[in-house]
Amino acid sequence: MSESSQVGTTAPRIPRPVVVAGLEFPPERLWKWYLDLLGEPTDTPFDPSLDIHAANTIADVVRPKGLRFIAAGDETARFVLVTQSKWFKGGYRGMPNEEIPLYPPDEGHYEQRARRLLRERWAGIGLQIDADALPYVTFLTGQNPELY
C-alpha cells in the first residue's frame, strides 16, 4: 500500500454513548453473591461461563430496590452496581477519562446510599459484602442500564 493511500485513513470511533457510575464487583465477589442467592456453598469454584447469568440474577434482586446491576465491557466484563447513568452523545471507546465530563472522580450521595444498602438492608438476604472495599468507577458503555 502506498503512503498516499494511507493519508486520511483513520479507524472509525466506536460509540459509547452512556456514561455509568457505580460500585464495581470483582468476578469472585459476583460469584459468591450469586452462590449466596442460590443457597449454594460459597466455596464452589468460580465458573466463568456463568458470570453473565450470575450478573443477570443479581440484577433481578437489586432492581426492586431501585438500582441496576450490569455486566459491561469491551474485552473483559466489568460487573457494576450502577448508581448513576446518563446519555453522553460524544462518548466513544477509548476516550480519555478527563474528556468524560459528566461525573466527578469521587463518589457522591448515590454511591454512599448504595454502600449503605449493601451494608444494612441486604445483609438479611444472604449478602455478605464488604461494601467499603468495592471500588467506585465511572466509564463509558454502549448500553443504557435504565433499560434493564
Question: pLDDT digits over 16-54, tens only?
Answer: 999 889 999 999 999 988 998 898 998 899 999 999 999
Quickly tell me which residue has 503512503 as its cell.
3
Q: What are phi and psi of 46, to 5 degrees?
A: -60, 135
Question: pLDDT digits over 69-95, tens only?
Answer: 999 887 788 999 998 888 888 999 999
Cell readout for 91 is 462518548
Q: Is residue 8 assigned to a domain?
A: no
Instruction: Count CB-CB contacts under 10 A for residue 5.
Output: 8
Q: Is residue 141 assigned to a domain?
A: yes
Q: Is residue 142 assigned to a domain?
A: yes
The count of domains in the chain is 1
pTM listed for this prediction: 0.81
- 56-70 per-residue burial string, b: 16 or more CB within 10 A, e: under 16: ebbbebbeeeebbbb
Q: Is residue 76 assigned to a domain?
A: yes
